[in-house]
Structure 1
Amino acid sequence: MDQAEPERRSPSTRLLRPFLRLFAAPRVNMREDYEKVRRLQRLAALPAVPRFRALDRTLVSRTSGESIPVRVFEPRERRRDDVLVFFHGGGWVTGDIESYSPACTTMADLTGCVVASVDYRLAPEHPFPAGLEDCLDVAATLLDEPRRVGAEHPDRIVLVGDSAGANLAAVVSLLRRERGLPGPSRQILLYPVAHWDHDPRTSPFPSVRNHGDDYRLTNTEVQDYFDLYVPDPELRRSPLVAPLLAEDLTGQPRTLLITAELDLLRDEGEAYGGALERSGNDVRVHRVPGALHGFIALPRFSRSLREAYEVINAFLDEGSSGSATAPRATRDPGAS
């Protein structure tokens, strides 16, 4: 969508808008209540965790020497050799392998892939770059030793993340290229955080102004997350926090970037997809109509979830053949 144009909403979206507001997140002061939110997320996830299909592993960080928990989920039926290395969302502050276990179980079943969920360190106890370092360490280990999670070759390792986790996946790919190291062949970025400014008065993105008050994620909540993750405002302009600001985006993995129509992060995510495309990367951008931020955690009967996995499975079906820098981009009409 051209950022200079007014946003165009479908008639169905306009009619659904009052109903969708019912699903807005409760207004909390994340800077004070993040521990309470973490506890509630874990409690909500407990009834849906199929423990018999998950195996807990531990990797030792090459940077900090700390242990990094990784939970490996087996699908009911394995249909692909790929292993999806998943970095969860939660604004770098909330979320963990417990609260995301239901979503990872769904991901494993609907893709037929093994999913390895990474329990990276969270802010404010461990601010930037601690969580990023953990994700880098796990990616390095699994790209060097893919059989540790059941992959036969590094090309079978696919980085996946949602929201802040998608930000981490994108930055891991950028840093692997910058350091001259082989990166993943593919990455799937779900409604990523790609920019640092989410103030409706100054943001360059219409979705920040149009969807920052009513729905699942708010401008205030994003600002709270940044305050906790990157306390120094100047550091927030680093490409390691805001990958859209990276000067060199060449040599990135084949990328599927999925956004949600009613998400304040929508436009910056699509802008990142466009920037990757202009740098000669193989990119597909897909916008899920009527979707809210965080839809990857919805029940399996959700229309938004089903549509996203149709696109994800089509992307995975293309395999890992071809160069990660081949300029073959596909852009869905809804994301134009």
Structure 2
Amino acid sequence: MAALLQCIRPIYDALCCPGLPFKYRWRLLALAPINALAYSFKWLPWVFSRSYSVVRLPLARSPGRSSRALIFTPESSSQSLRPLHIHVHGGGFIGGVPELDNAFCKRTVEETGAVVASISYRLAPRYPFPLAHQDAQDAAAYILEHAERLWGANPKLLTLSGCSVGSNLALAISQGLADSNTSAKGALMIDNPVDLRIPPWEKQRPPGFPKSDPLAFIVPLFDVYAESARSRRSDDPLLNPILADIRTLPRKMLFIIAGADILLHEVTTFVDRLKKDAAILNSQRDSSADSDSTSYEIEGMVFDNMLHGWLDRSRCLLRFHPTYPCRKRMARR
């Protein structure tokens, strides 16, 4: 039911969100049927599924509010605590529900034996930055606090993943946990926007980017979440992970990058910088006699001529990257 209600959320916001400029209202109304079609294809096959349970997670910074999360657990029993994985769906900060990535989460459970939590967050334009980031961090904090008791998962064996803006939020989770004993060990980032200081229409177009887009009229909506923060918080690494200190990020990271995506330049720039930082820190680690910390491993995979969102996550992702099923072993290291 929650996924169904999310289909009509753009209509509600277009009609009822106070102070929203008309340029966003009409675009939200146009977005509603597109959402309904996309959600139907991804959500309807799971209507009667027993593969996951739905829980409500209290949000510490928003008293009285909670967010939905889907919990996927392995079918086989285990005497030891399982690794924990948190996934964040995409949607341009204006749409999306956890159910869109059910197949990916179920496959992750099967391949790694981890407990997977697929979380949600409040959406723009009604809720601009930093609310989605706070929701993601608060949801993760609650999951980590109760992981062992409720789901038999080890919060110290945490990995993350996200699709599109979900990757941005996943890195915000990592930054929030950087100084804790439950910091993220690894992350899988898919089509990750890392520099929201630049609006979509000003981003560098790579070779192969389409000259025309029938859905180009929706593009301004993809900027509505970050727009209000751009002038006053342009240097915030939560919104712009490209500015984040590598020491606040997981030590093992894989970036899946579409070669014809407007995000190509910023993501490859980010990955190149992380690789250089990783080389320096790994060298310092190797020269330190008393260091037992895990080395940094940063990898980016560019798929030429592919557009943003090209990857059919439910069928192809694990097949493309043979090391992904080893995430459980990676977390234990």
Gaps of 5+ in 1: 1-28, 322-336
| Secondary structure in 2 matching 1:269 | helix
Distance 2:225 2:50 in 1: 35
The yes-or-no answer on 1:285 pairing with 2:284 is no
Give the aligned partner of residue 307 of structure 1: 320
Gaps of 5+ in 2: 1-25, 282-295
TM-score (norm 1): 0.72
Give the aligned partner of residue 159 of structure 1: 160
Relative distance call for 1:91 and 1:213 in structure 2 (3 A) is same
Number of positions where the alignment pairs a residue of Structure 1 with one of Structure 2:
283
Which is higher, the Rg of structure 1 or of structure 2?
2
Distance 2:43 2:88 in 1: 19
Relative distance call for 1:112 and 1:262 in structure 2 (3 A) is farther
| Secondary structure in 1 matching 2:54 | strand
Shift of 1:223: 4.4
Give the aligned partner of residue 231 of structure 1: 228
Shift of 1:274: 2.6
Instruction: Check whether the contact 2:85–2:115 (CA below 8 A) recurs between aligned residues.
Output: yes
The yes-or-no answer on 1:244 pairing with 2:242 is yes
Give the aligned partner of residue 19 of structure 1: none
TM-score (norm 2): 0.72
Identity %: 23
- Aligned partner of 2:329 among 298, 313, 317: 317
Give the aligned partner of residue 14 of structure 2: none
Q: What is the one-letter code of the residue matched to 1:286?
A: G
| Secondary structure in 2 matching 1:71 | strand
Relative distance call for 1:148 and 1:122 in structure 2 (3 A) is farther
Distance 1:217 1:229 in 2: 23
The yes-or-no answer on 1:294 pairing with 2:309 is yes
Relative distance call for 1:102 and 1:165 in structure 2 (3 A) is same
Give the aligned partner of residue 72 of structure 1: 71
Shift of 1:198: 5.1
The yes-or-no answer on 1:39 pairing with 2:10 is no
Instruction: Check whether the contact 2:31–2:218 (CA below 8 A) recurs between aligned residues.
Output: no
Distance 1:226 1:98 in 2: 24
Give the aligned partner of residue 189 of structure 1: 189
Relative distance call for 1:199 and 1:72 in structure 2 (3 A) is closer
Note the 1:100-139 alignment, pairs <5 A.
Answer: 100-139=101-140
Q: Which moved more, 1:137-146 or 1:276-285?
A: 276-285
Q: What is the one-letter code of the residue matched to 2:146?
A: E
Relative distance call for 1:149 and 1:135 in structure 2 (3 A) is farther
Give the aligned partner of residue 143 of structure 2: 142
Instruction: Check whether the contact 2:185–2:331 (CA below 8 A) recurs between aligned residues.
Output: no
Instruction: Check whether the contact 1:61–1:68 (CA below 8 A) recurs between aligned residues.
Output: yes
